[in-house]
Structure 1
Amino acid sequence: MSYAALIRPVVDRVYAGFRGTGHERVQAVYDAYKIRPGFERSFYFGLLARPMPAEAFAAVTTYSGSDMTDELAQGVAEVDGDGTWRLTALGRELALEVQRTYADWAEVYWDQKLVETMPGLTVVPRLAELVGRLLEAGQATGGPAFRAVAPVYEPADASPTLRLTSRLGALRHHRGDAHRAAWSAAGLTLAQLRALPADSPQRREIEDETNRLDEPIYQALSQGERDELLAGLGALPG
Structure 2
Amino acid sequence: MSYAALIRPVIDRVYVGLRNTARERLRAVYDRYGVRPGFESSFYFGLLARPMAADSFAAATIYSGSDMTVELEQGIAEIDADGAWRLTDRGREVALAVQRCVGDWAEELWDRKPIETMPGLAVVPRLADVVGRLLEVGQASGGPAFRAMAPVYEPPDATAALRLSSRLGALRHHRADAHRAAWAGAGLTLAQLRVLSPQDPQRHTIESSTNRLDEPIYLGVSARERDELLAGLGALPG
Give the TM bin, normalised by the shorter chain.
over 0.9
Aligned to 1:79: 79
Structure 2 stretches of 5 or more lacking a match? Answer: none
Aligned to 2:44: 44
Aligned to 2:13: 13
Aligned to 1:99: 99
Alpha-carbon distance, 1:192 to partner: 0.3
Alpha-carbon distance, 1:156 to partner: 1.1
d(CA) in 1 for partners of 2:203 and 2:171? 23
Any idea what the Cα deviations from partners look like across 1:57-85, whole Å, max 9, x if unmatched? 00000100000000000000000121100
Alignment pair present for 1:56 and 2:60 = no
d(CA) in 2 for partners of 1:16 and 1:104? 16
Aligned to 1:230: 230
Superposition RMSD on alpha carbons, in Å?
0.4
Q: Secondary structure at the match of 2:78?
A: strand
d(CA) in 2 for partners of 1:130 and 1:199? 35
Aligned to 1:218: 218
Mapping for residues 85-234 of structure 1, pairs under 5 Å: 85-234=85-234
Alpha-carbon distance, 1:134 to partner: 0.1
Q: Secondary structure at the match of 2:105?
A: helix
Alpha-carbon distance, 1:199 to partner: 1.4
Q: Secondary structure at the match of 1:226?
A: helix
State, as a whole percentage, how many aligned pairs show the same letter.
74
d(CA) in 2 for partners of 1:180 and 1:133? 23
Q: Secondary structure at the match of 1:78?
A: strand
d(CA) in 1 for partners of 2:12 and 2:199? 20
d(CA) in 1 for partners of 2:190 and 2:175? 16
Q: Secondary structure at the match of 1:167?
A: helix
Alignment pair present for 1:33 and 2:33 = yes
The aligned amino acid for 1:183 is W
Alpha-carbon distance, 1:52 to partner: 0.3
TM-score normalised to structure 1 length: 0.99
d(CA) in 1 for partners of 2:231 and 2:72? 42
Any idea what the Cα deviations from partners look like across 1:91-120, whole Å, max 9, x if unmatched? 000000000000000111011100111110
The aligned amino acid for 2:231 is A
The aligned amino acid for 1:142 is G
d(CA) in 2 for partners of 1:223 and 1:57? 33
Alpha-carbon distance, 1:230 to partner: 0.1
Aligned residues: 238
TM-score normalised to structure 2 length: 0.99
